Amino acid sequence: MRIPRPGIVRIEEAVAPGSVANQLRKNLPEAVFEVVNKIPDGTPFDPRLLEVVEYRGRFLRQCPGTRHYLCCGYRILHIGVQCSLECTYCILQAYFNQPNLRLFGNTDEMLQLLADELASHPHELHRFGTGEFTDSLLLDPLTGLSCRLVPFFAGRSNAILELKTKTDFIDQLLDLPHGGNSIVAWSLNSPTIRKSEESRAASISERLRAARRCAEAGYKLAFHFDPLIEHPGWQAGYGDVLDRLFEAVDPGKIVYISLGAFRFMPELKSVIQARHPRSRIVYGEFIRGLDGKMRYFRDIRVELFRFMQERIHRADPDLCVYLCMEGEDIWRDVFGFSPEERGGLPSMLDRAVHERMGIAPGKP
């Protein structure tokens, strides 16, 4: 997979001297750099354009779950928005009012806020990730942000960092002093869905080769099968990917695997139809969920989840597998228990981090 190389980099003057801007200048000598006072939201889409702004919002955020479904307690380290991989199902198409790739250039401020947050709650385990509103590694070879984040987390006894991606851009990670505190994670799907709905992302083979290299460098791993999409031959497709996954990496190196069925805001349907007219994913059997999103009928979701968890637990019965944004009733149908019976889903994931990574902040 080729690293995207923006042809125009537009930078707000407040962050023009910063490390992100300097790394981009170093790694994109052929690009045109423009320094402006302010970049407004809603700049017309330009696939050549990368925006670097001074972010004035919340760098540290809670995962955007809802009270109707069980949330993992993941926290977002907000580094930028949008993605150029153009997966057909991507929620970002309908989520933001700025269509261009945008990075936040005031990373020193972000790291100071993060340090203060971790210091103020030293006895809690903090699970942070950067892959909620953009791909964690899409532009990382150009910005070098992981070269600051990974060593930062290496020195923390109460926090982990998860870098989630659909790329194979991991060369810059391999020699970093990660201290066992960073997880490199991949979103995976069946070969059919990868080909039809994720055509600009790395191939399944490329992702798994990258995962193996990260494991060899001492990183722990995670995998996210989200969205699981019902399609002809889905059992064979997802089963094949799981077989290849456990051939590529030792299950003992994996901290957790998440499962999430395809779901979408109603307004995303028309966006997908307009931008990706060949995609058929919005024409399945859906019902509006309690959170207002369109979801597969219950029986379809349960069938998807049961198949996946049974195949995963054949490889490692002790591996933490969890559902993303589902209710207690679906959990009981799939696993035979509710997370609330085991202290809640965040506690389940904290235990997985402790057992597989050895990280467990002491009690006050």
Backbone angles phi, psi at 7, to 5 degrees: -90, -20
The distance of Cα 166 from the centroid of its chain, to the nearest Å, equals 8
State the pLDDT at residue 288: 96
State the pLDDT at residue 364: 47
List all residues 6 or more positions away from 232 whose beta carbon is below 8 Å from its beta carbon.
192
Task: Return d(Cα 338, Cα 197) in angstroms, integer.
Answer: 32
Q: Could you tell me which of 186, 299, 312, 187 has the C-alpha nearest to residue 239?
A: 312
Task: Return d(Cα 42, Cα 330) in angstroms, integer.
Answer: 39
pLDDT digits (tens, 9 = 90+) for 57-101: 999 998 877 778 998 999 999 999 999 999 999 999 877 778 899
Q: What angle do the packed helices 298-315 and 328-335 form, to 10 degrees? A: 50
Domain 59-98+125-357 has CATH 3.80.30.30: yes
State the pLDDT at residue 65: 72
In this prediction the pTM is 0.96
288-304: burial string, b at 16+ Cβ within 10 Å, e else:
ebeeebbbbebebbbbb
Place of tokens 């989840």: 305
Instruction: Give Cα separations from 332 to 228, 318, 336 (angstroms).
Output: 19, 18, 4
Question: How many C-beta atoms lie closer than 10 Å to residue 357's C-beta?
Answer: 15
- Ranges of each domain in the chain: 59-98+125-357
Per DSSP bridges, beta strands 75-77 and 60-62 are antiparallel
Instruction: Give Cα separations from 184 to 14, 265, 305 (angstroms).
Output: 31, 28, 23
State the pLDDT at residue 93: 85
Residue ranges of the chain with per-residue pLDDT less than 70 = 362-364
State the pLDDT at residue 362: 63
